[in-house]
Amino acid sequence: MKRTLLLIIALTGLIASVRAQEAPQSVTLSRKQCIDIALDSSPTVKVADLEVKRMEYARRETLGGLMPTIDFQAAYQRSIELQTIRMNMGGQSQSLKMGSDNNWNLGLSASMPLVAPTLWKAISISKTQILASLESARSSRLDLIHQVNSAYYSLLLAIASKEVVQKNYDRAVFNAGLYEKQFQAGTASEYDVLRSSVQVTNIEPELLQADIAVKQCKLQLVVLMGVDYELDVNPDVTLQQMQRDMYDYPLAAASDLSGNTSLRSLDIQTDIARKNVDLKKFAYIPTLGVSYNLAWLSLSNGNPFRNQEFNPYSNVSFAINVPIFSGLSRYNALRQAKVQVTELQLQRENLLHSLSMQRDLALDNISREIKQISSSAEGMRQARKAYDIMQKSFEIGAASYLDLRDSELAHTSAELSYLQCIYNYLLSTSELDLLLGREEELTSK
């Protein structure tokens, strides 16, 4: 008996341990914590940061063109058959062998540009390209932050909607129980009992669907965060609590488009295009370079590794390259660069016009959603009061079940509408921050 009891206890503990390991880990996170985790683990952000590092190495590669280039060469030549020449000496033709069996040539060469305008401008362009990569990385971060915000707000809405459906279900269960008691007391018909019971059954799929929506929103959030999909993430705030702080949003400052990533990227590309025009102009300027050569030469016959005598020689030279004519290729390349600058300027005007329209529409939507929140909050309060009155009337038999059901539907619809308005406002502010490129607002709201 004791052995059996101990075995049962051990098995129970083992089963409990396995279930505890299989159960998903639950953690409560704020929206800011979710954003930090996503930025730390996102492959997209990591790739963007690596691109910045790659462009920095590319700039250093271009900068290396101003430094001296030093090379070492070594060559060995073995003659199979020496060269023969014929010479007339004393009226007779004689053959002579020229050359040596072994030819060793060792040397060092160094060169450095002294005047290289195109290289100087290329270094300046490479610095600007680093700014373009930084802006691309910033754009990736802003987009990821907005996605996490949207997923977090969707989770808040799903949880709040589930709570509304749950309260509606609990009321339906309470009313069904009340009808059952009235039927047993002989004050209600069997039809009323069946109808209230059917109402409970009808709400159960809605409750199941609300639970599925919460799980889907959690899954979407953990995917964006780049963590284990089995992690059960719970928000540390409710959608109703978010409503108390959301009116601090700085609408008055939401007009500056200078932080928009598309606009900033286009400005950087325009700056690169202007520098490219200067680069094409510098192609007309002469270039000057200096080089130095030091070599050791050894000529011998027989064994290539014996009796070698290396004789050094060296020289320094200056080379100037003056461009004169290239079939108008430089001229047409310059005109092409100028056209590209004009194109980018026109694209900026069009983009600025489009962004201004999007900003104005976003501000109008936010203002309208603020009013909708106020009106829906008042409608929810009135619907709640009407339902309470109808519930009391129903309990004393002064109201029918249809009247009670109508008030329930009106109250549930008002609550869901109120929650949807809060969600729409939060999502609109996040979209506006993304449009304006305000990273501090995206992460701090």
Q: HEC states along 78-98?
A: ECCCCEEEEEEECCEEEEEEE
Report the pLDDT value the prediction gives residue 20, as an integer from 0 to 100.
43
* 287 touches 323 (CB < 8 A): no
Q: What does the buried/exposed string (b/e) look like for 316-352 if buried means 16 or more CB atoms within 10 Å of the residue's CB?
A: eeeeeeeeeeeeeeeeebbeebeebbeebeeebeebe
* 45 touches 141 (CB < 8 A): yes
Residues 6+ away with beta carbon under 8 Å from 97: 82, 83, 84
Q: In what order do the strands lie in the sheet with 311-321?
A: 69-78, 102-115, 287-300, 311-321
Q: Is 27 helix (H, G, I), strand (E, B) or coil?
A: strand
Question: Averaged in consecutive runs of 10 residues, what is the pLDDT profile of the chain (445 residues)?
Answer: 46 46 72 90 86 89 88 90 76 75 91 90 89 90 93 94 90 82 76 81 89 93 84 88 70 78 94 93 91 91 81 91 88 93 95 93 89 89 89 76 81 91 91 86 59
Q: How far is CA 20 from CA 6, 16, 212, in A?
A: 21, 6, 23
Element spanning 366, H or E: helix 329-395
* 138 touches 436 (CB < 8 A): no
Query: Could you tell me which residues are beta bridge partners of residue 102?
Result: 78, 300
Query: Could you tell me which residues are beta bridge partners of residue 86?
Result: 95
Tokens, residue 376: 């829906």
Question: How far apart are alpha carbons 100 and 79 in whole angstroms?
Answer: 7
Q: What does the buried/exposed string (b/e) look like for 120-138 if buried means 16 or more CB atoms within 10 Å of the residue's CB?
A: bbbbbbbebbbbbbbbbbb
State whether the Cα torsion 253-255-256-259 is positive or negative.
positive
Question: How far apart are alpha carbons 291 and 394 in whole angstroms?
Answer: 103
Tokens, residue 313: 């020689």
Residues 6+ away with beta carbon under 8 Å from 104: 75, 76, 296, 297, 298, 299, 300, 304, 308, 310
Torsion of CA 394, 397, 399, 403, to 10 degrees: 50
* 32 touches 444 (CB < 8 A): yes
Q: What are phi and psi of 51, to 5 degrees?
A: -65, -35
Q: Are strands 102-115 and 69-78 parallel, antiparallel or unpaired?
A: antiparallel
In 280-323, where do the E strands start and end? Answer: 287-300, 311-321
Tokens, residue 281: 């102009």
DSSP classification of residue 241: H
Burial class (CB in 10 A: 0-12, 13-18, 19+), 237: middle
Report the pLDDT value the prediction gives residue 335, as an integer from 0 to 100.
94
Report the pLDDT value the prediction gives residue 441, as an integer from 0 to 100.
58
Q: Single out the residue of 408, 411, 389, 409 nearest to residue 399, CA to CA.
A: 389
Residues 6+ away with beta carbon under 8 Å from 407: 383, 386, 387, 389, 390, 391
Q: What does the buried/exposed string (b/e) look like for 366-401 if buried means 16 or more CB atoms within 10 Å of the residue's CB?
A: beebbebbeebbebbeebeeebeebbeebeeeebeb
User: Helix 117-185 crosses helix 401-436 at what angle (to 10 degrees)?
Assistant: 170
